[in-house]
Amino acid sequence: MIMKLLSIICTVCIMAQASCGNASNSSSTTWVDPVSGITFVWIQGGCYDMGMTDQEEAALRAALPEWFFNKHYADEPRRQACPDGFWIATQETTQGQWEAVTGHPHQACPGGDEATRPVAWITWFEADDFARTLTRLHNGTETFILPQEVHWEAACRQQETARSNRPVLLGMLDTPDEWVDTYYTKDGQPPVVEEPVAMRVLKGERCSNRRGAVPGYVNCGVGFRLVRLAPGPQ
């Protein structure tokens, strides 16, 4: 009788601890994927103006030759975006995280600790396949995608104006550039026809910076990060 009572008490304790743990996790603004080790942070939704500000344009025009500005920076249309909240990785996918998901190392570019170095020399197709593979490894409980341009820039702008209560996101204002799941067009609007080989957007260096590249493009300065599709903190 006593042993049965103790067993019931222990079961109740374990259930209570699990409940508390789940409640804690559901209210946290960070989440670590147990398969890849990628840390995700919650970005609050809201409206903002995508693209180059008047101040950014004036500063760049003053610092760069006109031909260079027109070639590299003239296609950053100003437009309002209002994304819902979302989870985004706190840094670019690393070599170690790539190997944890795919089971094999990726061709590394020279320099740095291999495990913690951002994976580079990655096509858009490979980055997209990585997200799909990680999703499959969770057997339907989690979904991961490449960020849309609107998500990447929203996260970057929150980081650009970071205060002590803002999430820490690494690598958005430096290299490597990062693939996003958005077709590249000059005006930033979706293409009339979506083609698998059409150019995708690369983001990096500045929040508004955008350039197009064919999805098979590779470079030691090109990597990616993921977005997790899940409800926000409770």
pLDDT at 70: 80
pLDDT at 22: 35
C-alpha 120/C-alpha 61 separation (Å) is 31
pLDDT at 167: 59
The closest alpha carbon to 85, from 205, 167, 170, belongs to 167
Note the CATH number of domain 26-229.
3.90.1580.10
pLDDT at 173: 76
pLDDT at 145: 98
Predicted TM-score (pTM) above 0.75:
yes
pLDDT digits (tens, 9 = 90+) for 130-175: 999 999 999 999 999 999 999 999 999 887 665 545 556 787 877 6
Amino acid at 233: P
| Segment holding 127, helix H or strand E | helix 124-137
Tell me which residues of the chain have a pLDDT lower than 70: 1-26, 75-76, 108, 112-113, 160-168, 175, 187-188, 192-193
Amino acid at 170: L
pLDDT at 108: 66
**Per residue in 58-67, is it b (16+ CB within 10 Å) or e — as a string?**
eebeeeeeee
CA dihedral over 217, 220, 221, 227, signed as positive or negative: positive
